[in-house]
Every structure is written in C-alpha cells, then in structure tokens.
Amino acid sequence: MVRQRSGKIINLSGGGAAYPKPMFSAYACSKASVVRLTEVLAEEVKEFNVQVNAIAPGPVKTRIQERILEAGEKAGLRTLKEVKEVIKGGG
C-alpha cells in the first residue's frame, strides 16, 4: 500500500475498547490495543494516502454468550445485561 501510495485498512475492535469490562480484562485490553494500533498506524501511513480505521460492530451472538449466561452475575451485571439483550435479539 505504501509503495502504491494508496490503500485502506479496517481493523475490528469491540465494546471492550469503549468502556471498562470487569471480569474480561484480557478481552478489554486486546480491543483497546486494536484501537491504539489503528491510531498509530494511521499516523504512520497517512502521508502515503493509506487510510486506517477501526470499527466496533457491536454485540454478535457467539458461544461466549452461553458461557456468560452460565456464569451469571460473576460475569458482571453490565455484561450479563448486554448478553441477555443480544440473546433476545436486541443487540
């Protein structure tokens, strides 16, 4: 992309980057790291007309929701509430 002086990079982040996620420290840190990597890389390649962005698609139904429901309040009240909304189809 740098050589051709053009390009677009899209990274996937998530809710862990937007606010603290107690009981999910590894997840939250990894998502926040994706955002910072995106910001730094965007600065490094902007002179080459390469655009770098991150998106956070929001909740997605995955097996982790089953595990969170099994954990109940141990997963954190906010996280538990979010997962229940996703399961109902509200997320």
- Active-site positions read 27
Q: Where are the domains of the chain?
A: 1-58, 59-91
Confidence of residue 90 (pLDDT cuts 50, 70, 90): low
pTM: 0.75
Which amino acid does the sequence have at 3?
A: R
Taking the C-alpha atoms of residue 37 and residue 53, their distance in angstroms, rounded to an integer, is 10
Express each pLDDT in 17-42 by its tens digit.
888 888 888 988 999 999 999 999 99
Average pLDDT over the chain reads: 90
Q: Where are the beta strands (DSSP E) in 20-77?
A: 50-55
Q: What percent of the chain has pLDDT over 70?
A: 98
Q: Please, which residues bridge with residue 11 across strands? A: 54
Using DSSP's 3-state secondary structure scheme, residue 10 falls into strand
* Spatial contact of 85 and 91, defined as CB atoms under 8 Å apart: yes
Judged against a pLDDT cut of 80, whether residue 61 lies above it is answered with no
* Spatial contact of 29 and 15, defined as CB atoms under 8 Å apart: no
Taking the C-alpha atoms of residue 42 and residue 85, their distance in angstroms, rounded to an integer, is 34
